[in-house]
Every structure is written in structure tokens, then in C-alpha cells.
Amino acid sequence: MRLLSLFCLILATSSLHADEAAIRKAVALYASFDEWPEADFGGGDLKLWTRSNNTKEKGKSLHTKGFDAAAFGINKKGVAGGCFEAKDVLPDNGRIYFPAKGNIGFKEGGWGGALSVWINTDPNTLLKTKFCDPIQITQKGANNGGIWFDFNDAKPRDMRHGSFTAVGEGEKPLSEEGADAPMVRVPRVAFKQGEWRHIVLSWSNLDTGKKDAVSKLYIDGKLIGEIKDRAIGMKWDLDKAGIYVAVNYIGLLDELAIFNRSLTESEIKDLHKSPGMLNGLKKK
């Protein structure tokens, strides 16, 4: 009986290690934010860039490598080690991002992926602007193809996950307020400062040209809702797309990971149970 129990324990441990190895293998970008606001692992540029309005040329943007150290830094009290701290909103519609090229599994003809991040904020007391996107993946904005979650301007605020297809020239942009908008809504979200919440977006069958796209929102390991039975295409120029971080966000953010495939529900639960699971991907 003891031998059987030992064998079962070894089998369970081996299975857990195999699951963790599979999750790590799927990582395209990982930022622990333990020591510095940059990524630890990825296939592209691991430094943060800043995009802001070009005040001398209307409709144009300026892209500069680096970030405002007065607005963004590291806080030692993360969910696993240190964490990213957003202290203020940037002027001129400024926002920071990791370049998407090499750091996400986008490809024409069909692809899937996921993002996992921990956030610590009170959207009803800390945020200074009408809208805030803790994470937004896009070329420029939602109607250029966007995968994101945000807090809107309701009182109290709602949390929303959107997966918006790119709109072609001459086509009518999608409305975020429409009943048929490709969104999952969490009304009157009650997150509190000091509480860490785990957010996962997991998507599949984007850019297939068929009505088979799926994009799901998980909070603390639980499926909240999904967007499905739609043709959703990002159609990005990867040289211009970015993984935007802390857009108008005030609070803490930790353990950001982008995956090159969708995640299973059990994998998402494992990430929630073990916030530091990906720490082995850190630079030596």
C-alpha cells in the first residue's frame, strides 16, 4: 500500500512538472518585473517603448525607446518578487509598450494565443481618466485590430474584455457600446487596492476568415465569459503593433506573459495557483 501511494505521488508530481514545462514552452514574452521595467524572455525587443502624440504633426505619433521613470518603476511588493508600478498618466496621450514582433504568435491564416497578468488596483478610486487599459495588444487602437481588457467610465466602473477585428478603409468602425460588440462585460467591478487579481485572456482561430474565432476572459482562474462564432482578424503589420502596458493605469502589475497558443482551463488554474511559475524564464 505504501509503495502504491508513493508511486501515485511520483506520477502526480511528474504530471505537474510536465504541465508546467508545457506552459513555459508556450511563452512568447515574459516580464517578471522583479528588478526593472523590461521583459526577461521573448523573441523580440524586450525593452519598453513610449508612443505619444506628435504635437507638431496632427494625426501622427512619436515612438521613442524607453519610458518615463517618474511615472513607472518597480515596487518590491509584487505577487511574486517585485512588480511594475504605474504612478501617473503620461501627457500627449502617451502609452508604453513592448514591440509585438517576435513576442506574439500572430500569423495570417489563423492563430491563437493568451496573455496572463496580475493586477492590483482600485479602478473606482485610483484611476484618473475615463478609460484605462491595463493591457492592450494592437497596431494603434481597437479598430486596427485589438485584444484588450479595460475599465470604462461607468460609476462604479465595469471591466470589459474586447477582441475587435481590424476595420478596412471605408468600413464603419465597431461601437464598444453596441449590443453586438465582441466584448465580455463584468459590471460594477469591485477590485480593491491591496488585492492581487489574476487576469487571463485566451484566444483561438483569429485571422482564419471564418466565423470560428473564440476569445475568453478568466479572472482568478474562473471563466467569466467568451466571445465566439465571429470572424475576427487582427491583420496587423507586426512592425507597427505593440503589447501596450498600463495605459492610463494607476496601480501595480506583475508577472506579465504572452503565450503563442491558447491556454487550457487547467493551465490557467495552475498559473493562478502558482504566480511565480514562469520565474525560471528569467535572465541568469
pLDDT tens across 76-106, in order? Answer: 999 999 999 999 999 999 999 999 999 999 9
Q: Which is more confidently placed, 232 or 16?
A: 232
| pLDDT for res 172 | 81
Residue 71 has pLDDT above 60, yes or no: yes
For residue 12, what are the contacts with CB-CB under 8 A and spacing of at least 6? none
Residue 144 CA: distances (Å) to CA of 141, 147, 171, 195, 262: 5, 10, 12, 33, 22
Whether residue 182 is preceded by a cis peptide bond, meaning omega within 30 degrees of 0, is: no
Q: By mean pLDDT, which of 53-57, 76-80, 225-229, 240-244 is the weakest?
A: 53-57
What pLDDT, on a 0 to 100 scale, did the predictor assign at position 17? 54
- Answer yes or no: is pLDDT of 12 > 70: no
pLDDT at 283: 73
Helical residues (DSSP H) of the chain, grouped into ranges: 2-25, 265-273
DSSP 3-state percent helix, strand, coil across the chain (nearest 5): 15, 35, 50
pTM reported for the whole predicted model: 0.92
Phi/psi region, residue 182 (left: phi>0; alpha: psi -120 to 50; beta: rest), is beta
Phi and psi angles of residue 279, each rounded to the nearest 5 degrees, phi first: -60, -25
Contact 151, 123 (CB under 8 A): yes
E strands, 54-186, in order: 61-65, 72-75, 83-86, 95-99, 111-120, 132-138, 146-151, 159-164, 183-186
Cα–Cα distance, 150 to 136 (Å, whole number): 8
Q: What percent of the chain has pLDDT over 70?
A: 93
Q: How confident is the model at residue 174 (pLDDT cuts 50, 70, 90)?
A: confident
**223, containing H or E segment:** strand 222-230
Domain residue ranges in the chain: 28-281
What is the CATH architecture assignment of 28-281? Answer: Sandwich (2.60)
Q: How confident is the model at residue 189 (pLDDT cuts 50, 70, 90)?
A: very high
Quote the pLDDT of residue 201: 98
Query: Residue 176: pLDDT band by 50, 70, 90 thresholds?
Result: confident
